[in-house]
Structure 1
Amino acid sequence: MFIKSLIYLIIFSTPLYLVHFSIFKIPTNLLEILIMLTFFIVLINFFKEKNNFSTFNIISLRQFKKISILPKETLFFIGSLLLILFGLIISTLISDNNPQSWGIIKSWFIIPILFGFLIKNNIKTISEKLFLLKIIFYSSGIVSIISIVYYFFNNILTYDNRLRGFYLSPNYLAMFLSPGLIIGLLQLFYPRLKRLREFSLKDVFDFILIIIIFISLYLTYSQGAWISVLFSLFLIINIKYLLLNFRKFIYFIFLFFIIIFLIYYVSSNLKNSTFLPSAVYTTHSSTNSRLIIWQSTLKILKDNWLWGVGPGNFQNNYLAYQKYFPPYQEWAVPQPHNLYLAFWIQSGIFGFVGFLILIIFYFEKIFLEFNNLKNTKQKKLLLTLLAIMFIILIHGFIDTPIWKNDLALIFWAIVFLS
């Protein structure tokens, strides 16, 4: 029970990654320390049990042979993790072996994956998993409240009047809030919309929190977050039909993305709007800037398609390749504003393929389970996990909602919850 409480605390305290310091000259943060302390407590408890100590010889030949009889889905899952880590490490070694690259591997992959294993081994029942997701919702609510306080009392906004709270960018805030909003909506309104008179006091509290998160998300003016949340909701509402008509589903997605791209492109280049602050609509639009970033990224990938350039090295390569393009609209670009390009360019083809296998495994497992379920609570869990992944992958077309401490932790948490 104590370990479960620590896991819930860590999920709730995700924004504590912003509290930075160093231990023996190794950069870290408060969130990582909480995770590692929990991991060490688990190890200590493990070794205290005499029976467990004798079975800990995982490198023995007998234990190694057992790997060959693991379920196929487990082998695919472990294989995808190994491919991602292999791609990251090799890409780092072949590039400039930058300490920043090792820091990214540690903070955005190894520690969140270790935390994922803690979740897998301790959060097992449907109720516990739903409660963990609810913790993400409450954490988003607290962050939203703080951000709105910033907005009304300190007026801390970006130059284009966008809400960022205590984050460096409005997009960072939006990417953190989006999963929380979808969790709150599904937890409160699935499997059916409640009438007002059916609301308990707790439901009223959750509903108010949903409104607060929605307002905060709106004030970020992150069109990528809006699109990903709306599209995710559409998919979840129509999930039964889409599963039965998969071919139509593929056609619809193709058409939907064309329409969304046109809307996004046109709206980002409007000169005047009552919907968004006028500062957003300039010739220096986010769409124009992203198109240039993607063109530069593809040029870098053409020369580094196999091994990539290493995690955290995109900025330097982006600047080095400026000579092939007109003057950039943005110069400080630590990530390529695309999740898929980010994986390929920073972990090579091996890391990119590993990520794709992981996502395929994730959806296949959930879809297979969902089709055979009659339990409402379990369906709610699977739909919520699907919705969060939809948000991440859709937003991933125009940003990098995994390559960051808190977002990485949420991503790996939902992967292991599935």
Structure 2
Amino acid sequence: MIFIYFIILTLPAYLIRFSIFGLKTNLMDIFLILFLGGWFLRKILRGEKIKESFLRVRGFLLPAILLLSGVSLAVFKSSDIFVSLGIFKSWFILPVLFFIAASDIVKTEKQKISVLRVWFFSGIAVALLGFVYYFLGEITYDGRLKMFFLSPNHLAMFLAGPFIAGLWFLLEEKGRLKMVYVGLGVFFIGMALFFTKSLGGFSAILIAVLFLIFSEFKTIIAH
């Protein structure tokens, strides 16, 4: 669990890029490979079958296989196969394997909520750092916040997930003090998102918020 928390907290590490024998990679790839290697070794030492971990997410496997098959064809038709393999590894292979391994470790409702909580806190940390960038004038030529991300849209998409997680906690948390803390976190992330001026990020959040409202409404009706 600790390594899963670490990976969530260090997601921007994908921005630290380098090459190994001509293959493009980044620091997050290294973290994921270490995590997957440790998970695989633990399964072997415990005498557990890897197959069972894949079966646990079998509803996800067919779409994942179809996606990976389609992308792999594009990779081998690419004019620069090393660049394409690097993208394939970082954007598809490692995230899919991480999801399978994490699903094998994160099983209980409490564990799932703790992962969401860490994700939310990571968003708050980036948002607070974003305020420093913004008020120091470290913005794009058109006045948008991007920090150390590749673009304001990249930053917005990074913050969108923690923002939505925060909204979910606002709906689920009990206790006035907890709601105040969560509300402040949502406000900080929301302000950082506003500074990005990202239409794509705002659209994704709007769709997710509508889904949350619909899910909550269905729960109320069911009761």
- For 2:208, the equivalent position in structure 1 comes to 232
Displacement of 1:97 after TM fit?
A: 5.2
Distance 1:131 1:97 in 2: 41
Who wins on radius of gyration, i.e. which is larger? Answer: 1
Distance 1:136 1:223 in 2: 22
Distance 2:166 2:180 in 1: 12
Alignment TM-score, normalising by the size of structure 1: 0.48
Distance 1:203 1:236 in 2: 17
- For 1:312, the equivalent position in structure 2 comes to none
- For 2:95, the equivalent position in structure 1 comes to 112
2:191 pairs with 1:209: no
Distance 1:208 1:236 in 2: 19
Displacement of 1:15 after TM fit?
A: 0.7
Kept after mapping to 1: 8 A contact 2:23/2:82: no
Displacement of 1:37 after TM fit?
A: 0.8
Specify the SS of the correspondent of 1:238. helix
Out of 136, 142, 157, the position equivalent to 2:139 is 157
Larger relative contact order (Cα-Cα within 8 Å, sequence gap ≥ 6): 1
- For 1:278, the equivalent position in structure 2 comes to none
Kept after mapping to 2: 8 A contact 1:148/1:216: yes
Out of 3, 8, 18, the position equivalent to 1:21 is 18
Distance 2:43 2:196 in 1: 45
Distance 1:39 1:9 in 2: 13
Consecutive unaligned residues of structure 2, counting only runs of 5 or more, are none
Kept after mapping to 2: 8 A contact 1:12/1:136: yes
Kept after mapping to 2: 8 A contact 1:147/1:166: no
Displacement of 1:227 after TM fit?
A: 3.0
How is 1:239-258 mapped onto 2 (pairs within 5 angstroms)? 239=215
- For 2:176, the equivalent position in structure 1 comes to 199
2:103 pairs with 1:123: no
- For 1:189, the equivalent position in structure 2 comes to 171
- For 1:47, the equivalent position in structure 2 comes to 44
- For 2:77, the equivalent position in structure 1 comes to 94
Distance 2:198 2:134 in 1: 16
Please state which structure has a larger fraction of its residues in helix: 2
Superposed CA RMSD in Å reads 2.8
Q: Percent identity?
A: 33
Distance 2:67 2:210 in 1: 31
Distance 1:166 1:124 in 2: 34
- For 1:7, the equivalent position in structure 2 comes to 4
Consecutive unaligned residues of structure 1, counting only runs of 5 or more, are 244-369, 375-418
Out of 113, 124, 131, the position equivalent to 1:148 is 131
Distance 1:15 1:136 in 2: 12
Distance 2:125 2:200 in 1: 22
Distance 1:22 1:212 in 2: 36
Query: 1:221 is aligned with what amino acid?
Result: K
Specify the SS of the correspondent of 1:157. coil
Out of 197, 203, 206, the position equivalent to 1:221 is 197
Query: 1:220 is aligned with what amino acid?
Result: T
Out of 23, 27, 31, the position equivalent to 1:30 is 27
Specify the SS of the correspondent of 1:210. helix
Query: 2:11 is aligned with what amino acid?
Result: T
Specify the SS of the correspondent of 1:9. helix
2:149 pairs with 1:173: no
